[in-house]
Amino acid sequence: MSDVVEKTLTALPSLLSLDSQPGSAKLSSSSKLGALIRGITELTSKHEEEKLVQHELASLKDQVSSPNISMRQMKEAMVRAIYCEMLGYEASFSYIHAIKLAQQGSILDKRVGYLAVCLFLNENHELLLLLVNTVLKDLQSTNLIEVCMALTVVSQMFPKDMIPAILPLVEEKLNHSKEIIRRKAVLALYKFYLIAPNQVQHIHNKFRKALCDKDPGVMFASLHIYLQMIKDNPEGYKDLTASFVTILKQVVSGKLPMDFNYHSVPAPWLQIQLLRILSILGKNDQMSSEIMYDVLDESLKRAEINHNITYAILYECVKCIYTIYPNSDLLEKAAKCIGNFVISSKINLKYLGLKALTFVIQQDPKLALQHQMTIIECLDHPDIIIKRETLELLFRITNAQNVTVIVEKMLEFLHQSKDDHSTIDLVGKVAEIAEKYAPENKWFIETMNTVFSLGGDMIQPDIPNSFLKLLSEGFDSEEENQKLRLFAVDSYISLLEGEIKKLPQRFLQVISWVLGEYSHLRTDLDSARVITLLAKLLDMKQMSGETKTWVLMAMTKLCSGESSISIAQSVCDDYSSSMDTVLRQRAHELQLLSQDSALRGQLLTLHSGSEPLEVDSSLSFLDAFVSEALAAGAAPYKPPHQRQEELAQEKALSLEPYELSLPINMSSSSLTGRQSPTLMSVSSGLSGDSTELSLKGNTTILKLEGVKRVWGKEGYLSRKDPLEEVIQVENPSSPSQPTGTGGTPSDTPTPSATPEPEHGKQQLASSLFIGLGSQTSVFLMGKSDPTAQRIRRKVKTPNSSMAVTERGSVSSTSSAVDNLLCNNIPESANMVQEVTYETPPPYKTELDARLNEDLIDSTPSPVQSNGVETTSDKTESEITDKPRDECSSISLPAKLSGLPHSEVTSLCSNQTVELSACHVEKHDYVLLVIFISNSSDSDMENIHLQVISEQLEVSLLCESPLQDIAKHSMAVCQYLLNVRRPVVHFEVVGMLSYQTSSENQEVEFSYKLPLTSFVRPLEVSTEQYGTMWLAFSNDTKQNLALVTDGQDPLTDTLDLLKKKLGLHVVEIIGVEGIVACRLVQDQPCLLHCRVHGRTLAVWLRSPIPELPDCLLYHCQRVLEET
């Protein structure tokens, strides 16, 4: 701020008490608003203010609803109404008048009208519909100001459904002669893109025009859209990378008009926007990143003035440099920048420095070591925000050695924190790292106790769930499990004996479950004592019904022996007539159990052997029931989406008689039973403890359970009782099976962090940053990889069906690879031509080129030179010089080499490792083959490769997990992919962590496959097709372009689709054709095609809701390409 302004503003407070101001009377006397404001400032109490404002509102109401009011008076009244609303008083009577004012007023009144609408309503308000016509009219006005106002209101709020009505008009404004209109139109379209991206898809090429607009303001506005579009689909805009770089270069070197300078920095907003775009484009993309290096370097250099705005640019640069493909020179500079931020005396910069450090710490743990003393200081910073950010940083560098200190610091903060949001967040983080790195049982249980106590009832529900799951499933060592459970039992008993009033409900639920399950492990503990403690809980006033249920269930498990039974019975007497049906049900169960000793003997025996429960997810045992119900006239089951669709199709009136639907309702409710508390509690109550096995023969109970689990897609499962889930997965086991010792390192001493001046800090630093150097492993943020959290948990044996005959991982030495290579190259090149891709992966050429070099270098044999020819045809022009010593190259394992597969694509690489992948299409599945090639001079050890996908089921085909890769050699991992949810392009993401020369490293990668890789022909007869067609419910219709250059357009088109997508043409009859295909595991999709003039009307049906749309997309692509 300029000095003058600063001075004026600081002088102002003295002017502010209105009463003492001679000018204030004058200032306000001129208008009613002034009078109102003055009146309010003179008041002393809130009560008086309320009275005055209510009075004002009443008179306003009279005024605006009088028929004689002029628009000018209306405008004045509206301003007062806005003022009253700002003070927090509702003036909803004026909303409709605001709309009227915008509609009828002269230009100035209109402006106030629009303003009032923007302030009063939000975009979901129903009155907004009344504004649509006004906006339409103003958009067509010849008055620029009216057009501007309309565009402004549109970008502020507009009903989503009404966008199509005004879209053409807004679009037209992109060609307006005035830049201000073009700019506002672009921003309005940006807003549309945000709320309804599909509706502006067709104008993407116009956005390009806006990007090239001669006015920098319009170009800048278009960047908002581009940032958003690129975020949604980075692959689609790679071609613009160079353009964005050029723009940034021009901006940085000051080519824009001076108007755009801000404190003598050229267009900083523009720079930052471009940097954000570039960082997305350069992420995991070496080629794009390389284009940016120069301009990033330039930006870093230029931003040297000591002003906030340059720091803002620097910060964005740093983020960009760490996001894109790394460049060591830039990284070094960025690290220096972060350092300057962190040590800055300006608190805002310090905060951003910490934030940047948190951001980069995954890639550069050593940076934290450099700044450890600053970090320690920040930990005790008086500003809570700085402290909080520091803890975030520590959370990211937690490992097994520093976990105790970090958790201690976090808990310290939690004790002081009053803000719910950060408490919940931090409690979750403590729980996460405690579970992951706990050095010993006692510590873990105590930490979790604090977590539960501090987190209270706001705690994320998955924390108690996963804690109980951990207790019940345990680690690899059974002995450790028992110890942990014992600790928990001991600790909870002593808690219950102490002050119980302050324990939160969630914690009490955890306690009751653990005591119910495991208190028998402590043999010297009398169950009567536990039951007494539990009964005491029930007497507390603030106990929720849910917690009481947990307690009763725990009692059910413990009820044995004379004294316990008598306590249980008195409890039952209290609750067997409870108004809460679930509670009452539990009480009755407990009562029954306590009275019948034979039943007890049968149910409450401890099982030593633990077999996993078998869950029949297909619910085949219900088949008889279903067919019976169907025979009795019940309607067949329809999945929710289908029901919804039908609901949407049926308009308001239902003409069907009611009694038809009645039996359906009844049958479905008794079938699912999940709404009924009695049935629910029977199933979960009896499934508690070790009763499942003995009750397995009793089908009624199992049935109910199965129903609940599978059909509870919405409704019930979402609010499922955490206990039930836990119970269903747990395997009761006795302490008689020690299977080995020590899954947890328990020898780490807990360093005390006494705040003795310098020495204390040093000590703290060494305990916090231990394990960050090169010697030990760094476990990086558990946030991004949910599976890593279960790192210590028992690894479940993979489903037997996955163990297909394929050999899992093949490591081969370089010579073997060379041999394979000679055979494979020509073949794979041929295959590649068969499998078509929309977007050729960017690195294939480079890899091919490297393959070439290898082949040329080695002694050429006839076969080899043949291979060279084939590949070099494709890549000649793009061979890049890569002076790397290549010792290993890439080929498919022999068994797969004959199958159709994609090109081998490089995923990522660094100094030590190169990752590449391809996918192989087999008849009923798709294999993802990942090649890990170690190009360094040292061996890679402790390899952990993790591959996941949102839309695909990924399972490792492997006999033994991959461990090490010797230097200059390669390993191959194969993953079986199955479709979980169809999308147009599937994305698989993965992370490889490994050790080289005892240094931990990690690389992340992603791989894309089109849906077409999963499409297989479905060979059915016309009759079968007919029955299937009727059975499928999800359909989509669309007109496609016909291939018209041949004799018979329909046959040509279908043949093309057959060839490119692997569809099966069932029959062609006249102008109609029927086509069928399936996704690898029997997810069929049927196409019905009919020629209409020059277009082909295609109608797709499938049982999978998403499939028709996705398949249609690919059909469209194929036909457009020709």
Partner 1 sequence: MRFMLLFSRQGKLRLQKWYMATAEREKKKMVRELMQIVLARKPKMCSFLEWRDLKIVYKRYASLYFCCAIEEQDNELITLEVIHRFVELLDKYFGSVCELDIIFNFEKAYFILDEFLMGGEIQDTSKKSVLKAIEQSDLLQEEDESPRSVLEEMGLA
- 9 binds partner 1, rule: CB under 8 A: yes
Q: Is 322 in the site for partner 1 (CB under 8 A)?
A: no
Distance of alpha carbon 604 from the chain centroid:
43
Three-state DSSP at 612 gives coil
Q: How far apart are CA 186 and CA 467, in angstroms?
A: 51
- Region of 239-247, 326-334, 418-426, 591-599 interacting with partner 1 (CB under 8 A): 418-426
Rounded Cα distance, 756 and 758, in Å: 6
Buried b (16+ CB within 10 A) or exposed e, 863-879: ebeebbebbbebbeeee
Binding mask 265-284 for partner 1 (x = CB under 8 A): --xxxx-x------------
Minimum CB distance to partner 1, residue 279 (Å): 10
**DSSP codes, 165-224:** HHHHHHHHGGG-SSHHHHHHHHHHHHHHHHH-GGGGGGGHHHHHHHHT-SSHHHHHHHHH
Q: Which of 1093, 1087, 1080, 1084 is nearest to 1118 (CA)?
A: 1087
Q: Which stretch binds partner 1 (CB under 8 A): 310-318, 634-642, 655-663, 932-940?
A: 310-318
Pick the binder of partner 1 from 139, 281, 352, 989 (CB under 8 A): 352
Rounded-to-integer distance, Cα 525 and Cα 560, Å: 13
Residue 459 near partner 1 by CB under 8 A: no
- Taking CB under 8 A as the rule, does residue 343 contact partner 1? no
Q: Shortest gap between Cβ of 28 and partner 1 (angstroms)?
A: 7
Stretch touching partner 1 by CB under 8 A, among 82-90, 510-518, 720-728, 1102-1110: 82-90
- Residue from 243, 262, 340, 570 touching partner 1 (CB under 8 A): that is 262
Q: Is 1030 in the site for partner 1 (CB under 8 A)?
A: no
25 interacts with partner 1 by CB under 8 A? no
By CB under 8 A, residue 264 contacts partner 1:
no
Q: Measured from the CB of residue 129, what is the shortest distance to partner 1 in angstroms?
A: 15
User: Quick one: 460 or 544, whose CB is closer to partner 1?
Assistant: 460
Nearest alpha carbon to residue 915 among 990, 832, 823:
990
Contact code string over 821-860 relative to partner 1, x by CB under 8 A:
----------------------------------------
d(CA 448, CA 435): 9
For partner 1, the closer CB: 111 or 520: 111
Binding of residue 383 to partner 1 (CB under 8 A): yes
Residues from 131 through 170 that contact partner 1 (CB under 8 A):
144-145, 148, 152, 155-157
* 566 in Cβ contact with 599 (< 8 Å): no
Asked if 413 touches partner 1 (CB under 8 A), the answer is no
Non-local (6+) Cβ contacts of 149 within 8 A are: 110, 111, 114, 138
Amino acid, res. 1058: K
Closest-CA residue to 130 (of 107, 155, 153) = 153
Q: Are 187 and 221 within 8 A, CB to CB?
A: yes
By beta-carbon proximity to partner 1, the closer residue of 385 and 660 is 385
Q: Which is nearer to partner 1, 155 or 477 (CB)?
A: 155
Region 651-690 residues binding partner 1, contact defined as CB under 8 A: none
Q: How far is the CB of 210 from partner 1 (least distance, A)?
A: 14
- Our CA angle for 1027, 1031, 1033, nearest 5°, is 140
Q: Which is nearer to partner 1, 69 or 634 (CB)?
A: 69
**∠ CA 258-183-252, rounded to 5°:** 35
Q: Is 759 in the site for partner 1 (CB under 8 A)?
A: no
For 1100, the enclosing helix (H) or strand (E) is strand 1095-1102
Shortest distance, position 24 Cβ to partner 1, whole Å: 8
- In Å, what is the CA distance from 1011 to each residue of 921, 980, 1016? 12, 12, 11
Using the rule CB under 8 A, which residue among 42, 48, 62, 90 binds partner 1? 90
Total interface residues for partner 1 by CB under 8 A: 84
Other CB atoms within a 10 A radius of the CB of residue 981 amount to 15
Please identify, among the stretches 22-30, 509-517, 977-985, 1047-1055, the one whose residues bind partner 1 according to the rule CB under 8 A: 22-30
**Residues 6 or more apart from 557 whose CB is under 8 A from it?**
516, 517, 604, 688, 689
Q: Does 362 bind partner 1 (CB under 8 A)?
A: no
- Applying the rule CB under 8 A, the residues between 173 and 192 that interact with partner 1 are 180, 183-184, 187-188, 190-191
Reading the block at residue 527, the tokens are 């169950």
User: Is residue 968 involved in binding partner 1 (CB under 8 A)?
Assistant: no
Write down the least CB distance from residue 269 to partner 1, Å: 5
Please identify, using beta-carbon distances, which residue of 88 and 636 lies nearer to partner 1: 88
If binding is defined by CB under 8 A, does position 305 make contact with partner 1?
no
> CA 708, CA 724: separation in Å to the nearest integer?
11
**At its nearest, how many Å lie between partner 1 and the CB of residue 158?**
10
Q: How far is the CB of 240 from partner 1 (least distance, A)?
A: 19
Residue from 27, 43, 626, 984 that binds partner 1 (CB under 8 A)?
27
Cβ proximity to partner 1, 15 vs 1031, nearer residue: 15
Stretch that binds partner 1, among 263-271, 555-563, 636-644, 860-868 (CB under 8 A): 263-271
Residue 429 makes contact with partner 1 by CB under 8 A: no
Q: Which two tokens stand for residue 94?
A: 């004026």
Nearest distance, CB of residue 182 and partner 1, angstroms: 12
**Comparing C-alpha atoms, which of 510, 582, 525 is closest to residue 558?**
525
Query: Minimum Å distance from CB 57 to partner 1?
Result: 15
Minimum distance from residue 946 beta carbon to partner 1 (Å)? 25
Is 220 a residue that touches partner 1 (CB under 8 A)? Answer: yes
Concatenated DSSP letters of 702-724: HHHHHHHHHH-SSHHHHT--HHH
Q: 25 or 540: whose CB is closer to partner 1?
A: 25
Least distance from partner 1 to the Cβ atom of residue 976, Å: 35
Question: Which residue, among 798, 780, 813, 787, has the nearest Cα to 993 in the 3D structure?
Answer: 780
458 touches partner 1 (CB under 8 A): no
Q: Which of residues 98-127 bind partner 1 (CB under 8 A)?
A: 107-108, 111-112, 115, 118-119, 122-124
Q: How far apart are the first and last CA of the chain?
A: 60
Instruction: List the one residue out of 1097, 1051, 1043, 1102 whose CA is nearest residue 1077.
Output: 1102
Could you say which of 221, 321, 468, 1087 contacts partner 1 (CB under 8 A)? 221
Task: Find the binder of partner 1 among 284, 286, 422, 763 (CB under 8 A).
Answer: 422
Cα 591 to Cα 585: distance, rounded to the nearest angstrom: 10
Tokens of 777: 């492993």
- Select the residue interacting with partner 1 from 295, 337, 386, 454 (CB under 8 A): 386
- Smallest gap from residue 556 Cβ to partner 1 (A): 41
Least spacing, CB of residue 124 vs partner 1, in Å: 5
Judged by CB under 8 A, the stretch of 198-206, 214-222, 654-662, 1075-1083 that binds partner 1 is 214-222
Q: Rg for the chain (alpha carbons), in Å?
A: 35
The 3-class secondary structure across 977-1023, one letter per residue, is EEECCCCCEEEEEEEEEEEECCEEEEEEEEEEEEHHHHEEECCCCHH
Q: Which is nearer to partner 1, 40 or 521 (CB)?
A: 40
- Cα distance between residue 385 and residue 397, in whole Å: 19
CA distance 1002 to 321: 18
Q: Which is nearer to partner 1, 87 or 165 (CB)?
A: 87
Q: How far is the CB of 100 from partner 1 (least distance, A)?
A: 18
Q: Is 86 in the site for partner 1 (CB under 8 A)?
A: yes
